[in-house]
Structure 1
Amino acid sequence: MKKRSFIKLAGMGAMGALGASGHVPLLAAEGQQAPLKKFEENGVVRPFGGNTVVFHTDKSSPLFLSMLRVQVELQRHFGDSITCLPPDSYHMTLFDMANQQDRKPGLWPSGVPLDASVEDCTKKLAALLKSEPISFPGKVYMKIDPNRPLSLPKEHKPGSQPAFIIPLLPYSSADTEMLRAFRNKLSGLSGIRTPSHDTYVFHTSMGYRIKPMSAETYASFETYYKKWINEMTQAAGKISFDCPDFCSFIDMYQFTPVVALK
């Protein structure tokens, strides 16, 4: 299955095939690189390379199937403003590693030159993870957080592309500690520690807003969101994730496993 096509599963899937864009990112007036867009305003995915550690969502799980159902309504009612991610890409991020945009200490691996290519960065991190005795201790359990505010703000800033996420919480204190300890291991190993390291919100992303919504549309979206969260919370219940993978990506459509951390 090609990564730039929405897949169909059990008669449900996203509609339409989206191709990659070869546009060169714009530069800010100061000569610094402007924030890179992950999508065009028509929903076409743009190049955005990097690497990350994620749990891939089990395609037979209640969470995945409920996300498919939500995606159909999301695409039908709000497809003009939100571009959906292909279900093959559904995952929960455990630890953000490096991306081509954020090249500064704390956001880029300490042992990799700031001007190194993303490909070289991925190779160095993969070699490091293979050489160190680091493995995730076992299955971790999560649940949907129905109380977290909607991730898409009412106001849409020009050029911004906020993600539409389903927020997740560790199911128990043991799960919280398992995730915290492993994130700290990855941080110490890579030299990456973001300002939100200790307050990171676990989630699974479903899409990105690419165009503003009218006040009426946004109000409708809020209503649908509450409905979706309630339905997904009931359907997904206790969510389990197995071994995480260190993955590479060239855009937001596919996260390719490089090293299995088990």
Structure 2
Amino acid sequence: MALHARSRPPAPVGPKFDADGSFRRYPGNTVICAIGADNPALAPLVAAQRALARAPWASHFAFLPPSSFHMTVFEGVCEAVRAPGHWPADLVDASLAEVTERFRERLTGVEAPDAIRMRVSRLASMDTRASSVRLLPWDEKEESRLRSFRDRLSERLGLRHAGHDAYAFHVTLSYLVRWPAPEAEAAIRADHARFGAALAEALPEIVLPAPDFCLFEDMARFDPVLPLGPQRA
């Protein structure tokens, strides 16, 4: 079925955004590597986002502030999603604040990867309901470090999301909030491929800091609750 013919709005509309692209309250917690103002990766990512925002079809997407750019290492919980696999079974009746505090306790002292090396794979578009820069670990060693750390977080937090082993690392630049007309679909995908190729050339490597356990109220801001310490050689 063509995307424009779907009877329901794109998945981000309702939980994360209003139909006009404004942010909705969507509180939760997560483990992320922030891409701060001092990271050389930020400028190329902002340039890619600006290119997307200048496209004729840009009104179909809600763009995130660059200050929120990050790579998710491990999805935590969202207050609106308490289904099995999305909320710890031992904290089923706990509030988000209580879960966040319990997670903070469980993560205190955990060793985390530092100077994480990633590379740009591609810039995905509507198939993910977002403009997402797909990232791959630099090599097998880095892949093993990240996957092992995710397994350790899952065990400590008592939480294992569906697709845990195949989780795709990414940096989200925008979310789809309106289905495009059929004539725009090919242009959107072509532009994402073109901008993604330019980004991969401008940004051959992304080096990320040790992750933080963060709290968020919406998709515009992620506030650190606990920095996770780097692994020691």
TM-score by length of 1: 0.78
Contact kept in structure 2, 1:92 and 1:204, CA below 8 Å = yes
Partner of 1:141: 117
- Asked if 1:105 corresponds to 2:84, the answer is yes
Partner deviation per Cα, 1:110-163 (whole Å, 9 max, x = no partner): 432x23221221112112212xx31114321000113x8x3413xxxxxxx922
- Structure whose residues are more often strand by fraction: 2
Report percent identity of matched pairs. 31
- Asked if 1:41 corresponds to 2:8, the answer is no
Task: Report the Cα offset of residue 70 of structure 1.
Answer: 1.8
Partner of 1:209: 176
Name the count of aligned residue pairs: 216
CA distance in 1, matches of 2:224, 2:39: 20
- What are the equivalent positions in structure 2 for 1:1-262 lying under 5 Å apart? 36-77=14-55, 78-112=57-91, 114-130=92-108, 133-146=109-122, 150-153=124-127, 162-262=129-229
After TM superposition, what 4+ stretches of structure 1 lie above 6 angstroms from structure 2? none
Alpha-carbon distance change, 124 to 68 in structure 1, aligned in 2, over 3 angstroms: same
Contact kept in structure 2, 1:97 and 1:109, CA below 8 Å = no
CA distance in 1, matches of 2:187, 2:83: 40
Task: Report the Cα offset of residue 36 of structure 1.
Answer: 4.5
Contact kept in structure 1, 2:29 and 2:213, CA below 8 Å = yes
Q: Highest relative contact order (Cα 8 Å, sep 6+), 1 or 2? A: 2
CA distance in 1, matches of 2:178, 2:135: 26
Gaps in structure 1 of 5+ consecutive residues: 1-34, 154-160
Gaps in structure 2 of 5+ consecutive residues: 1-12
CA distance in 1, matches of 2:104, 2:70: 20
Task: Report the Cα offset of residue 241 of structure 1.
Answer: 0.7
Task: Report the Cα offset of residue 59 of structure 1.
Answer: 2.5
TM-score by length of 2: 0.87
